[in-house]
Amino acid sequence: MRRMRRGATVPHSVFAWRDVLTESLAGMIQRPGRSALTALGTVLGVGSFVAVLGLTATTSSQIDARFNALSATEVTVEDVARQQDEFAGPAFPADADARIERLNGVEHAGVFWPVRLAPDESVRSSALAGPDGDQGGVDVVAASPGVLAAAGARLAEGRIYDAYASERGEPVAVVGEGVADRLGITTLETHPAIFIGGRPFTVTGIVAGTDRKADLLLSVVVPRTTAERVWGQPEDGGAQMLVSTELGAASQIAHEAATALRPDHPEYFKVVPPPDPKALRGEIGDDLNRLFLLLASICLVIGAVGIANTTLVAVLERTGEIGLRRALGARGRHITVQFLAESGALGALGGLVGTSLGVLTVVGVAVVRDWTPVIHPTTAAGAPAIGLVTGVVAGLYPAWRAARIEPAEALRR
């Protein structure tokens, strides 16, 4: 053997990057089942991350369209006559619906107000009903036919009372499905009637849903003229008008409504235009993004815990291998780099597969719901990198444990 010259130093062991990749690949291929299970945590985490963010963006775009179609086409007019003149009567004229509907861009319009019943009055299913038959929680709303049309009421059965019944003050009513169930009304074929304060009202229609004014589903709606005849004029400031417009016409209608209703006193009305759709969409979109981003992060943390657990088990099972490497000259940092490379490679692979599955999930849901899939490029491009980082972070503790294993102790096992 050649003797080393006095003063010569032992060369440091070197772990080249090519060796790191080779050893990491060999470690993963030797245990394909475990490697697949380890990567599965990242696949689920990154896949959930991409799918949740993609579905959030997709549903936000649908919310945008919904707001454009509904919120941007709704105008509300309030009676503030008593605030301007204490001797003023109700501000809305009898032909308020017709005056507004003559404006270009208006689809439907109607005046409504909540009816204030006397303490001894309630909604009943029968004139002979006892206390158990009272439905004290049911509100009564006086409304012209245009209100139900402007609200986009969808009927389960029957029909909405028309302008003729409203002008004549007929004792008819329209109820929501929930109210109909509470009153025991299952069909309109028998021409059922309800009793409000002992007065009979024939039920002409049952409303299944509305696009606006969802509270109408929990109310008994009677014609405006009937309510005026039975209970009198609305209380000060109680009457409002609901106006549905064509898309893009709401701002103009809001500007013209007060003058069209009362050219002599337009100040008697407070017109509420539709909210700024951009601001409204932005607020709701931000709330959804924060919520779903939190859920996606939780999924990612669960995946990271799975990687850390599986990598730690692999370290314990490969103690003899680690001891042999250390005995042959491998340093602690070399062991650390090897295990970090393995966990990072598994994380990156899981990130790629998870990104693909997440994108396919978003596209599949969008196709089924007939939506337009929306996935931000940064989400799809950054998700594999997130998987890589998750794998590296999850492998830090197992790699640190592996680097601290003493060669002599490892070889004795």
Question: Do residue 149 and residue 120 come from a single domain?
Answer: yes
State mean pLDDT over 233-237: 83
- Percent share of the chain, pLDDT over 90: 29
Domain end position, chosen among 238, 264, 290:
264
What pairing do the DSSP bridges indicate for beta strands 139-143 and 219-223? parallel
State the alpha helices, DSSP H only, in 4-144: 17-30, 32-69, 81-84, 96-101
Question: Do residue 256 and residue 283 come from a single domain?
Answer: no
Query: Rounded mean pLDDT of the chain?
Result: 80
Structural domain contains residue 74:
no
Structural domain contains residue 226:
yes
pTM more than 0.85: no
69 or 229, higher pLDDT: 229
pLDDT, tens digit, 9 for 90 and up, residues 278-312? 555 566 566 666 777 777 777 777 777 776 777 67
Q: Report residue 136's pLDDT band, with 50, 70 and 90 as the boundaries.
A: low
Question: Do residue 106 and residue 255 come from a single domain?
Answer: yes
Structural domain contains residue 223:
yes
Question: Do residue 103 and residue 246 come from a single domain?
Answer: yes
Structural domain contains residue 397:
yes
Look at residue 141 and give its three-state secondary structure.
strand
Question: Do residue 176 and residue 304 come from a single domain?
Answer: no
Site of tokens 């009372």: 161
Domain end position, chosen among 264, 287, 322:
264
Residue 324 has pLDDT above 80, yes or no: no
Structural domain contains residue 259:
yes
Question: Do residue 128 and residue 251 come from a single domain?
Answer: yes
Domain end position, chosen among 232, 264, 296:
264
Question: Do residue 232 and residue 360 come from a single domain?
Answer: no
Question: Do residue 121 and residue 228 come from a single domain?
Answer: yes
Contact 295, 382 (CB under 8 A): no
Question: Do residue 205 and residue 257 come from a single domain?
Answer: yes
Q: Report residue 126's pLDDT band, with 50, 70 and 90 as the boundaries.
A: confident
Question: Do residue 289 and residue 257 come from a single domain?
Answer: no
Residue 2 has pLDDT above 50, yes or no: no
State mean pLDDT over 196-223: 91
Question: Do residue 247 and residue 106 come from a single domain?
Answer: yes
pLDDT, tens digit, 9 for 90 and up, residues 150-184? 999 999 999 999 888 888 999 999 999 989 988 88
Contact 237, 78 (CB under 8 A): yes
Structural domain contains residue 285:
yes
Record the tokens describing residue 77, joined without a space: 């007019």
Structural domain contains residue 222:
yes
Beta strands in 177-297 (DSSP E): 193-196, 199-209, 219-223, 240-245, 269-272
Residue 260 has pLDDT above 90, yes or no: yes
Site of tokens 């002979």: 128
d(CA 162, CA 393): 69
- CA–chain centroid gap for 328, Å, is 59
Question: Do residue 188 and residue 302 come from a single domain?
Answer: no
**Domain housing 393:** 17-66+279-412
Residue 150's pLDDT is 92
Structural domain contains residue 209:
yes
Residue 362: half-sphere exposure toward Cβ, Cα within 13 Å = 25
Record the tokens describing residue 341, joined without a space: 């490379």
Contact 51, 376 (CB under 8 A): no
Total domains, the chain: 2
DSSP state of 132: G
